[in-house]
Chain A
Amino acid sequence: MLEIKNLHASIAETGLEILRGLDLTVQDGEVAAIMGPNGAGKSTLSYIIAGREDYQVTQGDIFYNGRSVLAMDAAERAALGIFLAFQYPMEIPGVATMEFLKVAMNAQRKARGEAELKVPEFIKIVREATAGLEMDMAMLKRPLNVGFSGGEKKRAEILQMALLQPKLCVLDETDSGLDIDALKIVADGVNALRAKTRSFLVITHYQRLLDYIVPDRVHVLYKGRIIKSGDKNLALQLEQNGYADIIGAAE
């Protein structure tokens, strides 16, 4: 279970406060959507959960399964099962995607005290996962995300999620830059991973993604706080009326 309590966070370099007393709980097995207008703090929230160091938490705490994660670095949080699917996946020249996947999978296995994957076993797992996402294995010989199209990058993120089998998946605007066919493939990939023990925090600008990944809860983020929560109908309501009503009521 993820519990965020009264979280205040600012950009380390400038001191600009982005999150201003955010409270949020995501139960195990739950799919929670975070919606909000530009500049509400959606991406910041995802980075802070994942452990990016460009932000400073000035107040409040983030608990995962009852433990505060604030003192942990990004790798330690990943080892706990926290996964961030990036809005803009990083291109890393010189690091072959396959090599990266193997190093990442084995690093997490090591952190959990499991044995390293043997090469044939690793290849088999990757082959199965890529087939499900309609990806070409040949693509994985290329440097990580380099020269990948927008859609390929997003699929590669979901592939990593499928391989690493995290417990809390934070999807930061995974729908951005995707055409409708790619969106369906990505959503199918996410839905295939839905499980009682795995929760999702789906951050999105538009309701469209939520037609394919149907949420249990919807939260509206505005000016660094959750200003309204509801079930999937809240997303439909936003789609029809925009944010103005809800923002007006909250202010």
Chain B
Amino acid sequence: MKLPDELLTIAVTGLNAIDSPGPGIAVIRSLREGLQRPLRIIGLAYETLEPGIYMHEVVDKTYQIPYPAAGTQALLNRLAYIHGKEKIDLLIPNFDAELPNFMKLAPVLQSMGIASFLPDTDMFEARDKVNLYSFGKQHDLLVPRDRIIHQVSGLHECGELFGYPLVVKGKFYDAVVAYTAEQAEKAFYKISAKWGLPIIVQEFINGTEVNIAVLGDGKGNMISAIPMRKLYITDKGKAWSGITLQDDKLLELAASFVKATRWKGGCELEIMRTAKDECYIMEINPRFPAWIYLTAAAGQNQPAALARMALGEVVKPFTGYEAGKIFVRYSWDHITDVNAFHQISGQGEL
């Protein structure tokens, strides 16, 4: 293990700080602020215009990595090359779609000296949208009823079962609230064309949406949970502003989830709180949310705590945080030079 004042090299994905941002930049900000030691941040990017690539005060150097569809071997080859140059101590992936490859590679990476702190495949699959209802039933957590359908004709049964409105969801992304059978059909075709099959049709739950950023130690202990309500959302439903909440019921729900799954790493619970004060788990994202810096601002720096656990430190659960902390996201035209763009495009590193 490295000494506390030694340089620590951390590789991070999710540098797409765009209108629907990846969490990478917020994770790096939290690490730089929370670890209080010399850091070298290596960005891992898929696209050449991910803003973080050009933000050199945040990311020291960036390497392009192959898309998840290229498979684990291609990823491993690339990581081995990067590791040869950078001597990575810790890797924090931040995208849902890339996690299966990183989870599979975790033992190999560990043997190379690259630590990570990720859920295992069972945990990851259990909270998948497709399995969420049975997951909720198994662990006594409130989850909306759903049906997984592969054909548009399946919508009819869903309509009879749940009534309208109902929610039509893609396997990976996208959700449409459909108020009529026609709207549901349109949503089915639109979402399946973009994200493939199956389609998840979910009972509509009316209420106030709350999101909880959660960190589990993999042994059933919740290290941190910060609930946040969105104050302003973009047309894609992403939080542009949000506020931390203090509510024991939400924290208990997060703790139950971590205990039931023995969740390891960061995740985000999307909760719908009804007028009857029922808290439904609508979705579980298996990585930090883009607003994760708010956890640091509120007093529980989750990325820094994850890094410490990944490097073998024992981290005690946080107690207390500041409710009423607000984030307001903003956009900024970062200026770079065409040479920088050429370098990342042609050489795959910058």
Do A and B share a complex? no
Q: Chain B interface (Cβ within 8 Å of chain A)?
A: none
